[in-house]
Amino acid sequence: MDTNSSAVKSPPRAGFTLIELSIVLVIIGLIIGGILVGRDLINAATVRAQISQIEKYNTAVNTFRLKFGYLPGDIPDPTASAFGFAARGTVQGTGDGNGVIEGNYCACAGEAIGVTESVGETVMFWVDLSTAGLISGGFNTASATVMLGADITTANIGLYLPRAALGGGSQPPPAEPGVCIGTAQSG
């Protein structure tokens, strides 16, 4: 009997071949690539939505200016009241018709500092656009002359400002009600 003819067969090895491993790596790479491309598509859609929202507001402002002759928020009284908009103040930044949208920090002895967004033309901008029916939302809580201060929070900011498409929110202004930080400087 020949001992070489009855060779002992080794048991089959457990594991993956190099081809099987490479196929798995290619599949994992395709999945990761698809996730990254999908995330980029979502981000691009969000940016497009924000651009569309800004263009919508730009169109609304231009329409407002053509129809009423002033920028929204900057209409002086009695013109604002005659058009059915909220009454305005008598100092700079509360509806003075100067073609600049200004805030009004406080009215110290008839002066406006023009640095806050919680009172004055900056908030009346959205009120006027909403009242004219040029944007959606009822932003009628703001005032041209009453300092809201701490009343504006992240919970109720939607009553004063529209939500941004990118990020989905707005940031409330810092609150220091009733504090005058300086006087208007003449150049």
Span 91-100, pLDDT tens digits: 777 788 888 8
**45: its two tokens:** 């859609």
Q: What digits encode the pLDDT tens for the residues 124-179? A: 888 889 889 898 877 766 666 565 555 666 677 777 778 777 776 655 444 444 44
Domain residue extents for the chain: 19-187
- 132 neighbors 152 (Cβ within 8 angstroms): no
Largest CA distance in the chain: 122
Whether residue 110 has pLDDT greater than 70: no
Cα–Cα distance between 93 and 124 in angstroms, integer?
A: 10
Q: Determine what percent of the chain is predicted with pLDDT higher than 90.
A: 25
Cα–Cα distance between 105 and 122 in angstroms, integer?
A: 11
Q: With bands split at pLDDT 50, 70 and 90, how would you rate the model's confidence at 64? A: very high
For helices 121-131 and 18-68, give the axis angle rounded to 10 degrees.
Answer: 90
Whether residue 106 has pLDDT greater than 80: no
Cα–Cα distance between 28 and 23 in angstroms, integer?
A: 9
Look at residue 108 in the predicted model and tell me its pLDDT.
52
Cα–Cα distance between 170 and 172 in angstroms, integer?
A: 7
